[in-house]
Amino acid sequence: MDGLFYAYAGPRSTEREKFLRDRAANLAEQQQRQQAVKEGKLAEDPAEYIEWTVVDKSPTSRSVGEGRVQPHRRQTSDSHGVMDPTRLRTSSSSGSSSANSEQANRALLSNPYELRHGRRYLREVPYPLPCDLPEIQRQNLRTLLGCTLFGKPVCAPNAAKNIPNRVLEIGCGSGYWSSMCHEYFCSLGYKNVAFTGLDLAPLAPDLNKQGLTWNFVQHDLRRTPLPFDDGEFDMVMLKDLSLVFELGVPFEKFLDESMRVLGKNGTLELWESDHVLRSLLPHPPASKLAVDREIATRTATFPIGPGTPFAPAQNKYIQRANAWIQEALDRRKLPPLPCSRIAQVLYQEPDLLGDVGIRRIAIPLGEQRWEREPPKNDSSTAHQKEKARSGDLTPEQAAIRQTALMTVLQKIESLEPLLKEVSGKNSEEWSHWWASMMSDLLDSSRGSLTGECLEAGAWWATKLAGGD
């Protein structure tokens, strides 16, 4: 007890008392000067003011609060006279914060993963999907599905007419989309297109071994500027980034940065799909474009236009999953229906982007009863008329729908931790619900899918020569 009493109530040293007196006087003087600044009573010569700082006398002095008081001339600015000490502190704090941020970024790049809920996720990043093999396979299936539905891996006409020399895929993941584009350009006779992949997660293999000219750059997409020069690329590709950036300003800033690294007359292409499902109503009108009608007939899908009729999902399991996904994404300010917003963002840049194009497609998750019915109007798709005559999907068409359904179920599985949190289900309750849903949706004899479809789209634009 004697030791504790001495520690808190023992007499102060002479040096410590002197330090406290000087420090109190210094603080009082600073308060008086701040008051004088407010009242406009300070002299104009900045050399008249002396700022006092405490300088540590020795390493041991920090433990007892000892130090010496040293005067120094306040720093001045040529254009503004006396430099506000708050600006000095802000600058110092900003520099320290910047250094800490760089250190944290390097640590994240060197070790981007952590294990949660039995799956691998990005560490310290709000991205809600895992970064493991099952999720990579799901995303690759979506890419393959898009290439099949759009007829090719690049929809922008400008990219087919003016083959790019340098292509950047932002958020490249496994690099599968770049591989598909490489094969497409090779089929056109261009084998030397150089591809660069950018992502925080180093998931892509060495695609140079597959014949690509490939370079992977590891970078946190939330940090700007991107590590590239202005106009360095002839084409920039973005895919499935709606779960990376919040609605509004964050995505618009990222898009501006993507346009900075795109050269003039370069091509911007985006692929995306909705996270909440809707039901396609019977006999939607056909597209006015011949290429869309041909693809729709071949793939048994439906082009989406302004007059395409939709209704909320009818299946009870899809309804539940929709509600949970909607709430989970709303909490994170992420868009549940990104396909309805991308065109609006592109059209907001008329001085920067031209030749904006859109192709949106609805892929039913199963065979629909009304497809066997004869169309009620001439605007129905050729697929609907052919389907009414034949009555059956081809194996290729059935495989497309089955693949779309599987990727939807796999995404629900990947979002399981978020959906359990939103739904309030424990592990046992979730397992029961999941098994019931799988049994209901995968048994085609039940006919439980009544128009529910996956909506996907491609958007493209050309950077105008006068755009900066």
3-state SS, residue 139: helix
For 169-227, write each residue's pLDDT tens digit: 999 999 999 999 999 999 999 999 999 999 999 999 999 999 999 999 999 999 999 99
The 3-state DSSP class for residue 2 equals: helix
Torsion, Cα 25 27 33 34, to 10 degrees, reads -160
pLDDT higher than 70, residue 84: no
Instruction: Provide the token pair at 285.
Output: 């009108």
Q: What's residue 373's pLDDT?
A: 77
The pLDDT of residue 368 is 87
Instruction: List, in order, residues 6 or more apart from 165 with CB less than 8 Å away.
Output: 192, 193, 194, 234
Q: Could you count the other beta carbons within 10 Å of the beta carbon of residue 244?
A: 21
- The C-alpha atoms of residue 323 and residue 373 are separated, in whole angstroms, by 32
Which band of pLDDT confidence, cut at 50, 70 and 90, is reported for residue 432? Answer: very high
- Domains of the chain by residue range: 2-83, 129-463
Cis omega (within 30 of 0) for bond into 338:
no
Is the whole model's pTM more than 0.85, yes or no?
Answer: no
Average pLDDT over all residues of the chain: 83
Question: Residue 6 — φ and ψ, nearest 5°?
Answer: -65, -40
**Coil, strand or helix: which one is 263?**
strand
* Arithmetic mean of pLDDT, 80-101: 51
- Residue 167 to residues 177, 179, 184, Cα–Cα distance (Å): 11, 11, 13
The percentage of residues in the chain with a pLDDT greater than 90, rounded to a whole number, is 65
Q: Domain 129-463 maps to which CATH number in 3.40.50.300, 3.40.470.10, 3.40.50.150, 3.30.1640.10?
A: 3.40.50.150
pLDDT classification of 87: cutoffs 50, 70, 90: very low
Q: Which helix (H) or strand (E) holds 370?
A: none
| CA distances from residue 160 to 105, 174, 213, 291 in whole angstroms, order as listed | 38, 24, 19, 15
* Per-residue model confidence as pLDDT tens digits over 107-138: 999 999 999 999 999 998 999 999 999 999 99
Helices 416-423/316-331 angle, 10° precision: 90
* Greater pLDDT, 59 or 349: 349
Q: How many percent of the chain have pLDDT more than 70?
A: 75
Which band of pLDDT confidence, cut at 50, 70 and 90, is reported for residue 370?
confident
